A and B are shown apart, each in its own frame.
Chain A
């Protein structure tokens, strides 16, 4: 590729270029053994990763008779959107037959406030830890980070009791609080590290000009750290939307988030299994995080890397 960039003297063909001695990197053969092995492996692995998504889509577009006869990998002979309609509006969980739409809207009503609340709390926490250290602040921060490793199962029941005491057990608000609590370690770490990396002079100048805690946060820190807010939003939207454990513990059947309802629809023992409806429901549930993933691209990677790499 690179030798194309070498300006050719007028009248010299490719042979002339070779004769003038090697310049630039050695040209690679497109079909070298190395390339066949490299791309071959990558393509096979990519197919393996794509296969489940393909099967999901294909199955959801078939009718039940075709599924019983055919093979899960074959494309649908007759495309039907009926399974999608049914999954959305009339699939049954127990006695309720209003489809996944209820779970979808519950999930929206859980995710939006949880994302806003958890990020609001964590960003202010991170800001206080980075710029307004007080005695003992780091101790709490260490407890918070260590706490992120405690299995949720250990803390589930005490939270049930607390929520019951304040009358929020089983409600969407209760679940929002739970998500804000468990999102706190990772988000606080994210914001603390980001604010710490900002130039100290900025903060000092603002203080000299008489700005206080909230003034600096809202006028300087917030506008300057929009990228990290986007990363946090991506992290939280996918994390909260995909949550199952907290949903199943802290909500009731009529407030179940989408993942819990999906599991109940697909794994219900009553009735005939409708695989096409199940797969349509599965795609519908996976759609929100998938869209977030494909739209956000590199930011998603940055988010999970930030979420994953401690320190």
Chain B
């Protein structure tokens, strides 16, 4: 560091460069290199081992004509849209309720957030037990005398994805609530006073003044939820293992199964490339709106 003559450009700040080697390696080798590698090999017919034997878009044609993949995509869409809407709505309502200067706020917040500390495996297994048709909620209600009561999402392929959604919302809404609460606390008290002076009802104040002001918080929440949706895997594995049949399969599980069980690497790579593409489709417009918009404005 303390050399007397002007040091060579490469050796300037040498310690910082050495210290950044892990970051540089991770960024280049794993994130860029790994992704490029997977995309490249998705155009090959690799089976048990990755081989550079290009077959064009064959893997993608096969992917989009596999019923299991189509079911996975449909599930992801249903799950994604619903969890996005419900997380935001429930998270915001809970935050708004907690923001009413109530007593025991810390206790309520602790209760709403604790599931977030638990893993998806634990969450999935608990809800598998609660939704067990024989002993769980359905069994209990039937035991009370309502014999025809039916609530067995995990064993009914038409509604199984909603069973997973219930568990996911239980686990994740606490986080959204916390973000929203922080956003609500960040709003100037004077806004509320002004709205009250003007005689605007509370509900309208929330809908037309507060929520538009919290746009950055909503966008952050949106990005977090969206990133979580694409990655959903453990919850499904724990709760249903993709069943009944293939009714609750998701893309992440498809990738894992084809790579490590079916020994059809090419399919796994093609499916994971589609996942990457879906993230790009979400992230790029967001980045454009966030950062491109600022430059224009």
Residues of the A chain whose Cβ atoms lie less than 8 Å from the Cβ of B117 = 238, 286, 289-290, 292-293, 300
Q: Say whether B112 contacts A46, CB under 8 Å.
A: yes
Size bracket of the A interface: 35 or more
Asked if A137 is at the interface (CB within 8 A of a chain B CB), the reply is: yes
Find chain B residues with CB under 8 A from A17 CB: none
A286-B122 in contact (CB<8A):
yes
Take A151-B276, A184-B22, A308-B220 as given contacts and tell me if A132 and B15 are in contact as well, using a CB distance cutoff of 8 Å. Answer: yes
Contact flag A147-B27 (CB < 8 Å), given A244-B237, A275-B135, A304-B178: yes
Q: Which of B70-120 contact A (CB under 8 A)?
A: 94, 97-98, 100, 102, 108-120
Residues on A with beta carbons closer than 8 Å to the beta carbon of B17:
134
Contacts of B245 in A (CB 8 A): none
Contact A55 B272 (CB under 8 A): no
Q: Report Cα–Cα, A155/B117, bound state, in Å.
A: 26
A157 touches B (CB below 8 Å):
yes
Q: Are A144 and B26 in contact (CB under 8 A)?
A: yes
**What is the number of residues of chain B that contact chain A, defined by CB distance less than 8 Å?**
93
Known: A128-B20, A290-B118, A304-B116. A157 touches B2 (CB 8 A): no
Residues of A within 8 A of B135 (CB): 67-68, 71-72, 275
In the complex formed, the residue of B with least CB distance to A279 is: B129
Alpha-carbon distance A289/B122, docked complex (angstroms): 11
Chain A contacts with B in 32-55, Cβ cutoff 8 A: 38-39, 41-42, 45-46, 48-53, 55
B283 in the interface, Cβ–Cβ < 8 Å? yes
A152 to B231, Cβ gap below 8 A? yes
Contact A158 B30 (CB under 8 A): yes
B238 touches A263 (CB 8 A): yes
Among B19, B135, B251, B275, the one with the most A-chain Cβ atoms within 10 Å of its Cβ is B19
Q: Are A55 and B126 in contact (CB under 8 A)?
A: yes
Q: List 19 A-B contacts (CB under 8 A).
A: A42-B102, A56-B126, A140-B27, A146-B31, A151-B279, A153-B255, A153-B271, A154-B34, A156-B256, A157-B269, A158-B37, A184-B26, A188-B23, A259-B234, A262-B125, A263-B237, A266-B238, A285-B122, A305-B178
Give me the interface of B with A, judged by CB distance under 8 Å: 1-2, 12-13, 15-17, 19-20, 22-24, 26-35, 37-39, 41, 50, 94, 97-98, 100, 102, 108-122, 125-130, 132, 135-137, 139-140, 143, 170, 174-175, 178-179, 182, 220, 223-224, 227, 230-231, 233-234, 237-238, 241, 251-252, 255-256, 259-260, 265, 268-269, 271-273, 275-276, 279, 283
